[in-house]
Amino acid sequence: MAVNLTTWPHWLHSPANSQLIKTGLDNDDLISWNGVSRLIFLSALAAIGSMGSIFIISAVTLLESLQVRGSIYLVNLALANLLTTALVVPASCIAILASIPNDRGICNFKWLTTVICFLVSVFSFMFMSVENFLGLGDRVNYEQCCTKNRIVLVVTTIWVISIGFAVSQQATGFGPSFCNPSAPVWVPYHVMAGVMFVIIPTLVTMGYFFMSVFKLKSFKTQMEILEDPRAYVLTDEYLLKSNIVVFVLMLVMWIPGITVATISTFRPVSQQLLDNSWWAALSNSCIYSYLYAATNRNFREVFNKLFYYCCCKSHVTFSRRQQVSRQGEGTGIGLRLHIIPGLNIYAHRKETYKDSNRNNQTKSGKVVSDL
């Protein structure tokens, strides 16, 4: 059941490649060009995905409307996906450069990191859905339940459980793995682990998101007559919808990989199907952040400004604009943040302009005095 995790699906083995062989390219040249194509594609994938996760964390840091306790689960989700794009995908690039695509050590490292990040994502979504639901209830109960210390404890527990489970599976060699075809398969144990770490958290997340949507609809009629809706509703409607969309995307992209991995423990599965399902799952870590930007105005604003900064190396301005009544945000106070002031080209031009004016005034004064 070993998988060549550095390969990409059939587009690298399309009929066009057969045409190249017929036109005179030998097999070694074809393999070399395929390796270069995979290397370029994976490098771009890692860069784009990592940048998206960093932008998500930056959005939570910069925007006041996102600086709430529940956002720690969103940051935790972004960190897990960042580790996937910053460690798993580059490891495939290293295997390509070293011409060791089937190296067992690199495969084990990627599989271990992927399992850890997947479990962290699943548990982060579960507690995120619970927090969103509690934010639609009594504020007093929310303050008592979702304290800062408890949220930090939950996040720490998520990482400890995810790392401990994945490392124990890797160390004992007893668990599902794409890299070890001889790994023992004990069906009751694997079923119990799947139910505890995947199925139950997924069902809990779906249930709380479902209840949150219906509870939010019942609050909409009350929001119109309330002077301060934030005193009653702490969950941002738009962020809730974005969380649901991203969670559905994760399910769509991970279910094929989990299904194929489960089937492969009982019967042989084609290599191409394993590769396709694996990379479809990893692609979720590169897409989810941009889906947040596409479905949420706050994230979209931060993404646009940070893209502008990366391209133009100039200052960016984030405004604490007044939100709609159901969000209850801000007072319209402007906030200007200069990221790396030394690269603020407008400030440099302004200082240069002031110096030139000062010199001109000095020269004019001197001429007048001489006269």
C-alpha torsion sign, points 148, 151, 155, 160: positive
Does 369 fall in a domain? no
Does 343 fall in a domain? no
Task: State the Cα–Cα distance between residues 160 and 154, nearest whole angstrom.
Answer: 10
C-beta of residue 219 within 8 angstroms of C-beta of residue 234 = no
Provide the 3-class DSSP secondary structure of residue 234.
coil
Query: What is the model's pLDDT at position 349?
Result: 40
- Is residue 318 predicted with pLDDT exceeding 90? no
Structure tokens at 366: 């001197």
30-34, 50-54, 137-141, 191-195 — which is least confidently predicted?
30-34
C-beta of residue 291 within 8 angstroms of C-beta of residue 237 = no
Query: What is the model's pLDDT at position 332?
Result: 34
Does 50 fall in a domain? yes
pLDDT tens, position by position, 15-47 = 344 443 444 444 455 455 566 777 888 888 889
Does 292 fall in a domain? yes
Does 68 fall in a domain? yes
Query: What is the model's pLDDT at position 228?
Result: 54
**Number of Cα atoms under 13 Å in the Cβ half of residue 139:** 8
C-beta of residue 247 within 8 angstroms of C-beta of residue 125 = yes
Burial of 193 (0-12, 13-18, 19+ CB in 10 A): middle
Does 253 fall in a domain? yes
Does 355 fall in a domain? no
How far apart, in Å, are the Cα atoms of 24 and each of 17, 34, 106? 11, 16, 34
- Model pTM? 0.75
> Domain with 40 in it: what CATH number?
1.20.1070.10
The pLDDT confidence band at residue 249, using thresholds 50, 70 and 90, is very high
C-beta of residue 336 within 8 angstroms of C-beta of residue 315 = yes
Question: Domain tally for the chain?
Answer: 1
The distance from CA 14 to its chain's CA centroid, rounded to whole angstroms, is: 31
Does 5 fall in a domain? no
* Average pLDDT of the residues in 134-158: 85
| Domain with 165 in it | 10-312
Query: Among 222, 279, 253, 289, which Cα is nearest to 77's?
Result: 289
Cβ neighbours for 226, distance < 8 A, ≥ 6 positions apart: 232
Task: State the Cα–Cα distance between residues 136 and 190, nearest whole angstrom.
Answer: 37
